[in-house]
Amino acid sequence: MPNSTTQTNNSSPLSSWLTQLPKIELHLHLEGSLEPQMLFDLAVRNNVDLPYVNVQEVTKAFQFTQLQDFLDIYYQAAQVLVTEQDFYDLTWAYLLKCKEQNVLHVEPFFDPQTHTDRGVAFSTVINGIDQALTDGKEKLGISSELIMCFLRHLDEKSAFETLEQAMPFLAKLKGVGLDSSELGHPPEKFSRVFAKARELGLLTVAHAGEEGPAEFIWTAINDLKVSRVDHGVNAIQDPELITYLRQTQMPLTVCPLSNTKLKVFEHMQQHNILDLLALDICVTVNSDDPSYFGGYMTENFEALAQALDLNQTQAIKLVQNSITASFCDEQRKQELTKILNDYQ
C-alpha cells in the first residue's frame, strides 16, 4: 500500500483495489443519499419549490460547520420525496452506487417522521424503500436489512406514534435506531420506546458519541440495549468504555468523511478509527450521508488510505468487522466471509 503522501484517483492501483474490495455498509441514511440532480428532478416531478436555482447552489450550500447546519438542509431537501416511486428511486439509486463499488450487503436507515410529519403516509415511505431493496437482492445480488430511525429532537410521544405506524410492516424491518441532533437529547429520552421495540422483536442501534460525550455511548448500551453504536468515536474519551468495547466487541459504525465534514475531527489525519482498530475495537467504515459528505464507501476507504496510511490488512479487518456486526443471518455472513477471503 502507498504511504500517506500517495494521491488516490480513479485510475490508481489503490483506487482500483479499494473499489473492488467487497464491502458491507451498516450506517447509511437513505435520505442522505439524495444527490443534487435527483433533488432537482423530484422537485420538478412533485412541484416542490427549492431555494436553489441550480445544482451549483446546492453544492455551495453543502458547506457545514456543525451537525445542525447539515440537518437544516437535509430536512429541507427531503421534502421532494412524496410518492412511493420517489422512495423507490432514491433507494434504487443508492443500490446502483453500491453495485458500482462492490458493496454486497447494506443495512440502511430511514426517517419516517421526516415524511409523516408533512403528510406522507408511512406505508408510502416503507413500501417504496422495501420494493427497491427486494429488487436489489434479486437483480443486483445486494442483500439488506432495513432500520427505522426515530428523530431524537422530537419527543417520546412522536416516537411511540411512529412505532405504532410501523406495526403493520414489522416484517419489513430488522431494527430501530436513533438519529438527528445529539446534543440536548440523550439516549435515555427514548428508553421506553426502545423497550417496546425490543418487545416487538426488533433489534436496536443508536447514534451516540458523535457530537455527544462518551457518557451517551454508555446510556445507549445500558438503557437502549443496542446491538451496535452508530459513530461512537468519542469512546476514546473514556478508558473504561474502551475496555468494555474491546471485551464485548460492541461494534461502532464509524463514518470518516462525515466526521470530518461535520468537524468532529478538523482533518482526516486526526481521525481515530485506526487507533480504535489497533485497540481491537470492532470499528467499521460507512458513508452516513454520502451525497452531503463527499463520498460513498470507496471514497471513505480512499480517504483513510490517503490521510492515515490505511493498508490492505487494516482494510480487510474493517470489512470483516462489518460482516461480524451485520444483522444478516449466519448463512449470509458465511457467504460474505468467503467472498472477502477469496479476495485476499
For the stretch 217-227, pLDDT in tens is: 999 999 999 99
The answer as to whether 8 is a domain residue is no
Collect all residues with Cβ–Cβ distance below 8 Å to 263 and sequence separation of at least 6.
64, 65, 66
Alpha-carbon distance of 310 to 308, in angstroms, equals: 6
- Is the pLDDT score of 17 beyond 90? yes
- Is the pLDDT score of 185 beyond 80? yes
Q: Using pLDDT thresholds of 50, 70 and 90, give the confidence band for residue 12.
A: low
CA-CA-CA-CA torsion for 278, 297, 70, 77, nearest 10 degrees? -160
The answer as to whether 6 is a domain residue is no
Domain count, the chain: 1
Per the structure, the complete domain to which residue 232 belongs is given by: 13-343
Tell me the whole-structure pTM to 2 decimals.
0.94
For the stretch 135-159, pLDDT in tens is: 999 999 999 999 999 999 999 999 9
Cell of 22: 467487497
The answer as to whether 300 is a domain residue is yes
Q: What is the pLDDT of residue 11?
A: 52
The answer as to whether 1 is a domain residue is no
Catalytic residue from among 84, 145, 210, 299: 210
- Please give the biggest Cα pair distance in the chain: 53
192-224 CB burial, b ≥16 within 10 A, e <16: ebbebbeeeebbbbbbbbbbbbbbbbbbbbebb
Alpha-carbon distance of 155 to 332, in angstroms, equals: 37
Q: Using pLDDT thresholds of 50, 70 and 90, give the confidence band for residue 6.
A: very low
The answer as to whether 60 is a domain residue is yes
- Is residue 135 classed as helix, strand or coil in its secondary structure? helix
Share of the chain residues as helix, strand and coil, in percent rounded to the nearest 5: 55, 10, 30
CATH code where residue 32 lies: 3.20.20.140
The answer as to whether 249 is a domain residue is yes
The answer as to whether 4 is a domain residue is no
For the stretch 254-299, pLDDT in tens is: 999 999 999 999 999 999 999 999 999 999 999 999 999 999 999 9
The answer as to whether 248 is a domain residue is yes
Active-site annotation holds for 156: no
